[in-house]
Amino acid sequence: MPRDARNNIHSNFFHVMIQGINKEYIFEKEIEIKTYLKYLKQKLEHKNLLIISYCIMNNHAHFLVYTKDIMEISKLMSQVNTRYAMFYNKRHDRCGFVFKNRYKSEEILTYSHLISCINYIHNNPVKAKMCKEKGDYKYSSYNEYKDKTFLLNINLVRQILERYNIMISTILDGKYESYKFIEHIEIENKKEKTKRILDEFLKENKIKHIDQIVNNKKYLKKLSNIMYIENGFTQKEIGEILGISRLRIHRIIHEL
């Protein structure tokens, strides 16, 4: 059994995604991919985080990041993306935004999500029909798991993964291929996140049941703001979780 809890890893792992503005190609040429990776490697030396796996595609990229401070992700992506945008705009004689937003991130909350995310990232080029085998694609961490280390600190990656009984050799031989890809597990992530927020809110406010929130305007506004503003839930999702209308949630959130 892993030394950490197998079913809930509360979470130092984040699936980070970046995408070109309007889904445009921003990593079309080899020099562009290598430049982004170079900037990322330089900044990683000064950050308290670890890249567990990655894949750079033509118009987007995926990273699985391990950190004990989520703000480190924000600093890293801001610095690297800003520097790359300057390089890209100069190279293509253009100006304006290069990336769609700074980045998107999802917590990895369970053991199965963790190995699923690694698989998903390495399988991206195969799924996009850019290659037949994961090892055929040059710009992912799959081959770094074997012998061609560039971005990864493979010894630290191995130590982190082995806490969850995930062996690099088993990732390479495809043992975990049967696990669901990340598109399907984001729903499970949301369920885990919802439960954690509700449990913490009930405990903090000494409330025994969710009905006490729904029937109390002060509690309802406070929880709605936590879910909507701080955690990115939509008003529709909040309404469905609490069993009330989206319109009521909208009014509560925007009420002065």
* pLDDT: which is higher, 256 or 167: 167
Distance in angstroms (rounded) separating the CA atoms of residues 85 and 74: 16
pLDDT value of residue 188: 59
Q: How many CB atoms lie within 10 A of CB 202?
A: 17
Q: For 115-153, give one letter per residue: b (16+ CB within 10 A) or e.
A: bbbbbbbbbbbbeeeeeeebeebebbbbbbbeeeeebbe
pLDDT-wise least confident of 108-112, 114-118, 168-172, 181-185: 181-185
Q: 63-67, 192-196, 239-243: lowest mean pLDDT where?
A: 192-196
pLDDT surpassing 90 at residue 179: no
- Alpha-carbon gap, residue 152 to 108, rounded angstroms: 19
The pTM of this model reads 0.69
Per-residue pLDDT tens over the stretch 58-79: 999 999 999 988 889 999 999 9
Given this model, what pLDDT does residue 176 score?
58
Residue 6 pLDDT class (50, 70, 90 cuts): very low
Structure confidence at residue 3 (pLDDT): 35
Kindly report, as residue ranges, where domains of CATH 3.30.70.1290 are found in the chain: 13-180
Q: Measured on CA atoms in the order 232, 233, 234, 239, is the torsion positive or negative?
A: negative
User: Which CATH number fits the domain 13-180, given the four candidates 3.40.50.300, 3.30.70.3270, 3.30.70.1290, 3.10.20.600?
Assistant: 3.30.70.1290
Q: In one letter, which amino acid is 203?
A: K
pLDDT for res 10: 58
Q: What is the mean pLDDT of the chain?
A: 86
> CB under 8 Å to 55, separation ≥6 — which residues?
61, 62, 121, 122, 124, 125, 137, 139, 140, 141
Please give the average per-residue pLDDT across 152-157, as a whole number. 92
Distance CA 226, CA 213 (A): 13
Q: Given pLDDT bands bounded at 50, 70 and 90, which one contains residue 4?
A: very low
Instruction: Give the pLDDT confidence score for residue 25 in this predicted structure.
Output: 95
Of 6-10, 127-131, 174-178, which one has max mean pLDDT? 127-131
pLDDT digit string, tens, across residues 127-148: 899 999 999 999 999 999 987 7
Q: Say whether pLDDT at 185 is over 70.
A: no
